[in-house]
A and B are shown apart, each in its own frame.
Chain A
Amino acid sequence: DTAVSQTPKYLVTQMGNDKSIKCEQNLGHDTMYWYKQDSKKFLKIMFSYNNKELIINETVPNRFSPKSPDKAHLNLHINSLELGDSAVYFCASSPRDRGYEQYFGPGTRLTVT
């Protein structure tokens, strides 16, 4: 069983489109995250949710909107996609009682043309 899963794995789309990435974890963790990894492998946190409540919201454009229907799911919707949004997006989850070690999904490679 995959602990943290993301769909789709690859996403190719044109500028101006709206797209969503889905994430699910079956670890029973309370906290989930979205990260963006750029072409230089730099990993930057975007959002964090704890029990469906937004707790971290870094300086991310308003075009990015996370949604958490329940604590096992955290989706990322992106409006009006731009070339600079091309990256690999990782979902992660963590248990709050173990130093917030994080379990990562396989990533979604987004390419905006």
Chain B
Amino acid sequence: AQSVTQLDSQVPVFEEAPVELRCNYSSSVSVYLFWYVQYPNQGLQLLLKYLSGSTLVKGINGFEAEFNKSQTSFHLRKPSVHISDTAEYFCAVSAVPDDKIIFGKGTRLHILP
């Protein structure tokens, strides 16, 4: 069975600074990987996904993530954060093919003025 670990429960970062949110997964089969964002009092929204192909994936709102198979990681990055990026970020993994997505416990991104 697959699992996903988000190494930081909370990440404070100053506005306009870069940020990296870490995600590691475990699986004995090939996986699909996702990052979702949840703004306060809202549902989850897909930021980006890795299905196959290029290991560098670009998403919405200036975010990108890199799939590293050898390190079983899928870290999320943004070169310059904005106050509007304040949210909870979830990494998720799905075995290929599978109907179920396993979510990490989330990382709260806290933007400091």
B42 at the interface (CB under 8 A from A): yes
B17 CB → nearest A CB, Å? 24
Contacting pair A106 B42 (CB below 8 A): yes
Q: Which of B43, B49, B108 has its CB near the most chain A CB atoms (within 10 A)?
A: B43
B90 CB → nearest A CB, Å? 7
Contacting pair B99 A55 (CB below 8 A): yes
B105 at the interface (CB under 8 A from A): yes
Partner of A99, one of B36, B38, B49, B100: B49
Contacting pair B46 A99 (CB below 8 A): no
Binds B, one of A37-45, A67-75, A79-87: A37-45
Partner of A43, one of B42, B45, B103: B103
In chain B between 78 and 96, which residues have their CB closer than 8 angstroms to a CB of chain A? 88, 90, 94
Q: Which residues of A contact B (CB under 8 A)?
A: 4, 31, 40-45, 48, 50, 55-56, 90, 92, 94, 96, 98-107
